[in-house]
Amino acid sequence: MKERIKIVEGDITEQEVDAIVNAANTSLLGGGGVDGAIHRAAGPELLEETRKIGGCPTGETRVSKGYRLPARWVIHTVGPVWAGGHKNEENLLANCYKNSLRAAVEHGVKTIAFPSISTGVYRFPLERATEIALTETKKFIETNENPDKVVFVCFGEKALNTYREVFERIY
Ligand code: ADP
């Protein structure tokens, strides 16, 4: 199982994978952070499509094309805003990973890249978010052939070290 996971430091918009996951907001109309970077790199056609999709509830996913990105698909998922831990945030974040992986299977995706959902503006504690990301992905790939490769793209050294530590503990 271990060899199907890759942890890298970098920019998710540059990943040569079949699908990248966007940490979007419920409007799907773009925003800051990774969402803004993905919209800038994909070009204005992405916003045209997500505007038509019309929004996405927290924990769910919607799929669009990748346009000018190297990735063919963008799987938009909406992470929970951290509100102290008693608002179902952990389950909602787990749903983001589960539903994104399911959507990947439905679209024939063999390689997928995730950002660290909810750990930016949405303030989810990084270590706990990383445990959820890696645990949900492990459970999923143990029972599914696809995606064959899951890349976790860490934006900065702090995230990279956290992902590496949690990976050694969990896998
Ligand atoms: P959220 O609103 O879900 O917290 P953010 O975009 O604010 O989303 O942050 C999510 C994570 O994405 C953060 O860890 C942030 O450092 C990271 N991030 C920001 N830009 C990029 C990028 N271009 N590639 C990968 N990760 C990124």
Would you say residue 12 has pLDDT above 90?
yes
pLDDT per residue as tens digits for the range 149-166: 999 999 999 999 999 999
Report how far ligand 1's centroid is from the alpha carbon of 119 (Å).
7
Query: Exposed e or buried b for every residue in 21-52, given b needs 16+ CB within 10 A?
Result: bbbbbeebebbebbbebbbebbeeebbebbee
Residue 145 has pLDDT above 90, yes or no: yes
Residues 6+ away with beta carbon under 8 Å from 164: 7
Q: Per CATH, which fold does 2-170 belong to? A: Leucine Aminopeptidase, subunit E; domain 1 (3.40.220)
**Which residue from 80, 167, 162, 147 is spatially nearest to 117, judged by alpha carbons?**
80
Q: pLDDT value at position 17? A: 98
- In this prediction, residue 72 carries a pLDDT of 98
Query: Hey, which of 34, 96, 157 would you mutate to test ligand 1's pocket, going by the most ligand atoms within 8 Å of its Cβ?
Result: 34
pLDDT (tens digit per residue) in 74-133: 999 999 999 999 999 999 999 999 999 999 999 999 999 999 999 999 999 999 999 999
The chain-wide mean pLDDT, for the chain, equals 98
In the structure, what pLDDT confidence band is assigned to residue 34 with cuts at 50, 70 and 90?
A: very high
| Distance in Å, CA 85 to ligand 1 centroid | 20
Domain boundaries, the chain: 2-170
Instruction: Write phi, then psi, for 124 (nearest 5 degrees).
Output: -65, 135
In 3D space, the residue among 106, 78, 108, 73 whose CA is nearest the CA of residue 92 turns out to be 78
